[in-house]
């Protein structure tokens, strides 16, 4: 076993390497480390806490637990901060900053002297950003997630961020509950530290990370406030210290096969549409393409097994108690690539051969009795989405799956906000709401694809309509909502030229989304279309110049492999 370089890795350039080493050690001494400590392998701990990130409130105790594990295994833990992305605190949207955080993570892993790294993230964009950065940095990395929140109670009902936030808000909009009630409910939706309590994007990414093999088996669903989360963090620290001597790099773990495993798990858990974008971006950092056509093939073979909101009825704490991701993967075993290795060095097949623990079948169904026979997501292509779009069919109203409807078009979010509740809006339940200019280039792809049902229809009892946009949707939301239409309107996709009254046909059975306007007319309209003005300075200008479309994971063109 060779000794890792530790503190001598990547010396600062002063023109005299011996002096650089001497200077580094003497400055490190000022932090109170003994010479013995400074000779140890170094495990960096990428922390992402902050006052603007409720989901990362346990960052310091997780850092302590990881450090404990590193020290126990003979390493020196050195925590370092990176950008933190708190989903609901960022304007215009956290997606704007995912790639920035990934660059921060990548460059700090590479620039600082660490032999391995533990990444602590949780909230939606943070885990993707950390995995993207770690994949590009090529250093041994173990992902730790902050874990999901516990549920609250309101008048005897369980409540959890944030499917229930949307459910109660829809009731408030339709006049079913009062201002006083919605204010009271506000206190019961997010009651502990941790990430959203349902199978939203954060939970989906935690499960995918485990399925990829980048975190410890069984760790994804442990609630944030459960002591087992700290034990798992300690174990992750021990593992990272061991891996400093025997590196396993992300490219050995994230392979075409493990990416397919992750997609299977995503479909089986009824996971978030956003996870497709993030997984594409993570895989893209290692040159692994994720095809929407392949997603459809996998979806056809993979049943939904996990009964969690927004698709089902339970919460992440129930998934943990029911057996977690290992129990789901054991069910999926015949469909998985079993030779993939995880960060602990073991093959997936060996891990899954371990004796099955008790499984709560009300939460994790067997393959023989799934919640639905096919996967939760479906990709669509057609004249309105030449490069694809996505629909979370598991969270949609199947009576709307085959629909030809009249387009009611909104030019962007301001237009939507101004007109959606206008009593004069010409709209009926079988129309299709279309939102333009909310894609990655136009607006950093906000989670605005969950267009509200126009107030006058909501009050009349309409619960769902087909909604189409180039935006994303929160993984906690539900409805017949077509997202990620590509190319987006701001990149000159056909979405840019849809007009009020045009007809659109959605067919989930044939996986198509078509604008029923003659091709010649579409081309004529596109020839008259003008692209939006781009920002000229700072990160916004870099973002605008470099952002790729959804099918490339919305990464920057200069970061993909």
Q: Kindly list the residues in this chain that would bind ligand FES in the complex (CB under 6 A).
A: 55, 87-88, 123-124, 161, 195-196, 200, 202
- Nearer to ligand FES by Cβ, of 146 and 307: the residue is 146
Smallest distance from the beta carbon of 319 to ligand FES, in angstroms?
15
What six digits make up the tokens of 510?
A: 């044939």
CB of 31 vs ligand FES, minimal distance in Å: 32
Q: Which two tokens stand for residue 505?
A: 């046909």
**Closest CB 272 distance from ligand FES, rounded Å:** 10
Closer CB to ligand FES, 121 or 487, in the complex: 121
Tokens describing residue 143: 């992902």
In whole angstroms, the minimum distance from the beta carbon of 102 to ligand FES comes to: 17
Q: Report the helix count and the strand count for the chain, using DSSP H and E.
A: 21, 14
In the bound complex, what is the minimum distance in angstroms from residue 27's beta carbon to ligand FES? Answer: 36
And the tokens for 509? Answer: 């059975």
Judged by beta carbon, residue 87 or residue 488, the one nearer ligand FES is 87
Let me know if 406 is exposed, middle or buried by CB neighbors in 10 A (0-12, 13-18, 19+).
middle
Dist. CA 358–CA 352, nearest whole Å: 14
With vertex at residue 549, the alpha carbon angle to CA 545 and CA 551, rounded to the nearest 5 degrees, is: 150
Phi, psi of 184 (to 5 degrees): -65, -40
**To the nearest whole angstrom, how small is the minimum distance from the Cβ of residue 161 to ligand FES?**
6
Nearer to ligand FES, 151 or 195 (CB): 195
142, 65 in Cβ contact below 8 A?
no
Candidates 389, 332, 396; CA nearest to 365 is 332
Nearer to ligand FES, 331 or 447 (CB): 447
Specify the residue, 126 or 258, whose C-beta has the smaller distance to ligand FES. Answer: 126
Which residue, 85 or 299, is less far from ligand FES as judged by CB? 85
Query: Could you tell me the smallest distance in angstroms from the CB atom of residue 52 to ligand FES?
Result: 11
Taking the complex as a whole, how short is the minimal distance between the CB of residue 89 and ligand FES, in angstroms? 9
Query: Residue 309's beta-bridge partner residues?
Result: none
CA dist 297 → 103, 207, 271 (Å): 33, 21, 17
196 or 395: CB nearest ligand FES:
196
Strand partners, 80: 46
Helix H, strand E, coil C: the string for 417-461 is HHHCCCCCCCCCCCCEEEECCCCHHHHCCCCCCCCCCCHHHHHCC
The tokens for 500 are 């009020």
What's the token pair of residue 363? 């939460």
Closest by Cα among 227, 218, 221 to 200: 221
b/e 270-289 (16+ beta carbons within 10 angstroms → b) = bbbbbbbbbbbbbbbbbebe
Nearer to ligand FES, 269 or 432 (CB): 269
Closest distance to ligand FES from the beta carbon of 146 (Å): 9
Q: Which is nearer to ligand FES, 202 or 407 (CB)?
A: 202
Please name which of 57, 228, 209 lies closest in space to residue 146, comparing C-alpha atoms: 57
Biggest alpha carbon distance in the chain? 77
Compare residues 196 and 391 and give the one whose CB is closer to ligand FES: 196
Name residues whose C-beta falls within 8 Å of residue 33's C-beta, 6 or more positions apart in sequence.
Answer: 76
Instruction: Give whichever of 159 and 544 is closer to ligand FES, judged by the CB atom.
Output: 159
Closer residue to ligand FES in complex, CB, 185/427: 185
Q: Can you tell me the distance from the alpha carbon of 229 to that of 61, in angstroms, rounded to the nearest whole number?
A: 10
Helix spans in 73-137 (H): 95-111, 126-137
User: Phi and psi for 371 in degrees, rounded to 5?
Assistant: -70, -40
- Beta-strand pair 432-435/402-410: parallel
Q: How far is the CB of 192 from ligand FES (least distance, A)?
A: 12
Shortest Å, Cβ 87 to ligand FES? 4
In what side-by-side order are the strands of the sheet with 141-145? 76-81, 42-47, 116-121, 141-145
Assigned token pair, 54 = 């409720």
DSSP assignment string, 159-177: E-TTHHHHHHHHHHHTTSS
**Closer to ligand FES by Cβ: residue 200 or 217:** 200
- Give me the least distance between CB of 3 and ligand FES, in Å please: 40
- In the complex, what is the shortest distance from the CB of residue 220 to ligand FES, in angstroms, rounded to a whole number? 13
Do 512 and 381 meet the contact criterion of CB atoms below 8 Å apart?
A: yes
Minimum Å gap between C-beta 389 and ligand FES is 24
Which backbone phi and psi does 533 adopt, to 5 degrees?
Answer: -75, 135
């Amino acid at each position: 076993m060779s000794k890792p370089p530790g503190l001598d890795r990547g010396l600062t350039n002063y023109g005299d390497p011996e002096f650089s080493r001497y200077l580094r050690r003497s400055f490190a001494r000022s932090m109170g480390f003994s010479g013995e400590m400074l000779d140890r392998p170094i495990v960096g701990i990428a922390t992402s806490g902050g006052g603007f990130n409720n989901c990362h409130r346990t960052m310091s105790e997780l850092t302590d637990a990881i450090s404990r594990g590193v020290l126990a295994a003979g390493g020196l833990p050195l925590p370092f901060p990176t950008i933190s992305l708190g989903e609901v605190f960022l304007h215009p949207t956290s997606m704007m900053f995912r790639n920035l955080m990934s660059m921060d993570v990548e460059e700090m892993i590479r620039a600082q002297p660490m032999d391995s790294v533990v990444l602590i993230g949780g909230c939606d964009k943070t885990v993707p950003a950390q995995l993207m950065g770690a994949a590009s940095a090529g250093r041994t990395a173990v992902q730790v997630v902050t874990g999901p929140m516990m549920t609250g109670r309101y008048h005897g009902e369980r409540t959890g961020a944030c499917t229930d936030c949307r459910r109660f808000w829809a009731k408030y909009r339709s006049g079913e509950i009062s201002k006083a009630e919605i204010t009271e409910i506000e206190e019961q939706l997010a009651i502990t530290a941790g990430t959203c309590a349902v199978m939203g994007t954060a939970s989906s990414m935690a499960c995918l990370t485990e399925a990829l093999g980048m975190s410890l088996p069984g760790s994804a669903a442990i609630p944030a406030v459960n002591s087992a989360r700290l034990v798992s963090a300690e174990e992750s620290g021990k593992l990272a210290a061991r891996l400093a001597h025997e590196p396993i790099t992300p490219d050995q773990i994230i392979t075409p096969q493990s990416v397919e495993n992750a997609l299977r798990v995503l479909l089986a858990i009824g996971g978030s549409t956003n996870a497709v974008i993030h997984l594409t971006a993570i895989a893209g950092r290692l040159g692994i393409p994720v095809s929407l056509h392949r997603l459809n093939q996998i979806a056809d073979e993979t049943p939904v097994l996990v009964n969690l909101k927004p698709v089902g009825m339970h919460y992440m704490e129930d998934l943990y108690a029911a057996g977690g991701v290992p129990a789901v993967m054991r069910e999926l075993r015949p469909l998985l690539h079993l030779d993939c290795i995880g960060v602990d060095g073991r093959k997936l097949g060996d891990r899954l051969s371990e004796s099955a623990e008790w499984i709560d079948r009300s939460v994790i169904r067997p393959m023989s009795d799934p919640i639905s026979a096919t996967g939760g997501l479906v990709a669509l292509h057609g004249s309105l989405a030449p490069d694809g779009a996505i629909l979370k069919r598991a969270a949609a109203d199947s009576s709307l799956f085959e629909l030809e409807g009249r387009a009611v078009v909104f030019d962007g979010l301001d237009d939507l906000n101004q007109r959606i509740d206008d009593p004069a809006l010409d709209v009926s339940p079988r129309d299709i709401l279309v939102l333009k200019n909310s894609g990655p280039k136009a607006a950093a792809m906000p989670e605005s694809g969950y267009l509200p049902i126009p107030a006058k229809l909501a009050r009349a009892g309409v619960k769902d309509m087909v909604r189409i946009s180039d935006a994303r949707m929160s993984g906690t939301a539900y409805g017949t909502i077509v997202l990620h239409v590509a190319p987006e309107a701001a990149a000159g996709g056909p979405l840019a030229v849809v007009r009020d009254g045009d007809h659109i046909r959605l067919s989930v059975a044939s996986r198509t989304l078509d604008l029923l306007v003659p091709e010649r007319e579409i081309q004529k309209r596109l020839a008259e279309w003008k692209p939006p003005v781009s920002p000229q300075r700072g990160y916004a200008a870099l973002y605008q110049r470099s952002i790729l479309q959804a099918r490339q994971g919305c990464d920057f063109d200069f970061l993909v492999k």
